[in-house]
Structure 1
Amino acid sequence: MKGFFRSIAATFGFCTILPVGNNVDFDYYARRYYLMPLVGYLTGCIAAGVAILLGSTSFAAAASIAVLLILYGFNHLDGLLDFGDGLMAHGSREKRMKALTDQNVGAGGVGLAMVVILMTYSGLSALPAMPAALIVAEVCAKFSQVAMIAFGEPLREGIHSYVRSFGKKYYVIPAFLICIPVILMPFSVREFSAAIIATAISIAFVYFAATRLFGGVNGDVDGASGEITRMAVIAALALAV
């Protein structure tokens, strides 16, 4: 049981800039990375608090997104930028891999990040239940990252391959069970169905794009999956209202 709580602390410490679990062995996170949706509940609640404080206005939508990006230390945004560069690169798989792993940011990365952030902002602004949507979207985003780690064949040695070596594909099952309490949010069956479909489509898109274009998945792809899924879920909720 002590190891389980250390894994929770390590998961929060690794995924966010919050001063929780920073001194806990990274392996505790890797052994139980299926706990990541718990992070989504916390970050979602913090962003929801910002939205409530600011009155669920357009400014609140922008501020909530900013808070989320900061809570993750812009790490997932960095992954999204690299993923965008890899997607938009022309030529062989090797050239796409170089664009994905290059430290420089190109037009593809900037363009994809702009699309994701603008769509997230627009969707949030259109949602009356903005705080609840933030929680649902964050939990779904973290589930998508669990799925990406569980099923994504490593592109090369790195954080993704190391974490994946500790887990099993069935880790998506406990991760899904952790997500179930989001049904308490004030959304209809239609809206929840839209969110689930958006999550599945996002995971499939990122997974198949990475596998086809790069030959596998790395940490950047994991981070991009979370950002894209958040956007897709918020957009789906906004369209289903």
Structure 2
Amino acid sequence: MRNVLPFLTRIPIKGDFERIPNELWAFPLVALVSSALPTVLLYLKLPLANVLAVLALYWTIGLLHLDGLADWADGIMVKGDREKKIRVMKDVNTGIAGLFAVVMVLLIQVYSLQLLPFYALFLAELNSKYAILLALATKKPLGNGLGAYFMGGMNREQLAIGTLLYALLYLPTALFEPEALVGILGLVLGVYVVRLSLENFGGLNGDCLGAIAEITRAGTLLTLAFLWAL
């Protein structure tokens, strides 16, 4: 986990980037760290705690995934063949589709958190990190970037360990609040983004992984918010 943590967060510890493909199983564990500060802010019920929690989240994990979401959305929404979609996704300029996607994800998270218990963001981050692991398990890289690099180390053993960790981390909350199990449905959105990416681009790259992470987290919070609002 020590090597994965500095890549998925801004925590200032040293890690060996070349060892990350062998520690993909630890992705779910990162949720414990990435959600820690936001969860504390929500637990303390500070003024505008939902806004502060989202700011604390991105202070912890950085904006890499949000940037990937913007690029991914631009590629998905443009009309044209696969080559054009890939070209637009890799363009350094952000279009209106990317801007819209980022704004919506941020708004969904901020609004949902004001309706949810303090542990909801942990569950959403857990889903987000596990969804990346599931995406890597497809073994369908696009290009030779980070996605391909990580997929090169992915295997059944890492997926099995990661899945076990995911279940063990989710279980305590589910036992305390059985209704929280509905949050697992947030993974459906992550799987849908994987499918959409494969259909439009023919594979997954770093931008796709970022979109999967962001949409899964926001989708999990929205799903839980619907439940708590009933």
Q: TM-score, normalising length from structure 2?
A: 0.93
2:90 is aligned to: 101
Superposition pairs of residues 52-71 of structure 1, within 5 angstroms: 52-53=43-44, 55=45, 59-71=48-60
1:19-69: CA deviation from partner (whole Å, max 9, x where unpaired): 12x3x321221111120111111111221012233x165x21111111111
The offset of 1:177, in angstroms, is 1.3
2:199 is aligned to: 212
Q: Secondary structure at the match of 2:88?
A: helix
The offset of 1:138, in angstroms, is 0.7
User: Structure 2: any 5+ residue segments left out of the alignment?
Assistant: none
Q: CA–CA distance in 2 between the matches of 1:198 and 1:159? A: 24
1:239 aligns with 2:230: no
Q: Which amino acid aligns with 1:110?
A: L
The offset of 1:169, in angstroms, is 4.3
2:23 is aligned to: 32
1:115 aligns with 2:104: yes
1:86 corresponds, among 72, 75, 78, to 75
The offset of 1:145, in angstroms, is 0.7
Superposition pairs of residues 10-21 of structure 1, within 5 angstroms: 10-20=3-13
Is the Cα contact below 8 Å between 1:153 and 1:216 reproduced in 2?
Answer: yes
Q: Which amino acid aligns with 1:39?
A: V
2:64 corresponds, among 59, 75, 82, to 75
Q: CA–CA distance in 2 between the matches of 1:228 and 1:217? A: 15
2:151 is aligned to: 164
1:181-232: CA deviation from partner (whole Å, max 9, x where unpaired): 222227633331x211221x12221111100001110011111111111111
1:178 is aligned to: 165
Is the Cα contact below 8 Å between 1:43 and 1:68 reproduced in 2?
Answer: yes
2:131 is aligned to: 144
Q: CA–CA distance in 1 between the matches of 2:7 and 2:102? A: 23
User: How many aligned residue pairs are there?
Assistant: 226
1:103-137: CA deviation from partner (whole Å, max 9, x where unpaired): 1100010011111111111111111x1x2001111
Q: Secondary structure at the match of 2:143?
A: coil
Structure 1 runs (4+) deviating above 4 angstroms are none
User: Structure 1: any 5+ residue segments left out of the alignment?
Assistant: 1-7
Q: CA–CA distance in 2 between the matches of 1:56 and 1:86? A: 39
> RMSD of aligned C-alpha atoms?
1.6
Cα distance change on mapping 1:229 and 1:44 into 2, 3 Å? same
2:33 is aligned to: 42
Is the Cα contact below 8 Å between 1:150 and 1:167 reproduced in 2?
Answer: yes
Q: TM-score, normalising length from structure 1?
A: 0.88
Q: CA–CA distance in 1 between the matches of 2:56 and 2:203? A: 31
Q: CA–CA distance in 2 between the matches of 1:41 and 1:13? A: 14
Q: Secondary structure at the match of 2:154?
A: coil
1:54-95: CA deviation from partner (whole Å, max 9, x where unpaired): x165x2111111111121220111111111111111111111
Is the Cα contact below 8 Å between 1:151 and 1:169 reproduced in 2?
Answer: no
Q: CA–CA distance in 1 between the matches of 2:144 and 2:219? A: 29
The percent identity for this pair of structures is: 27
The offset of 1:170, in angstroms, is 4.7
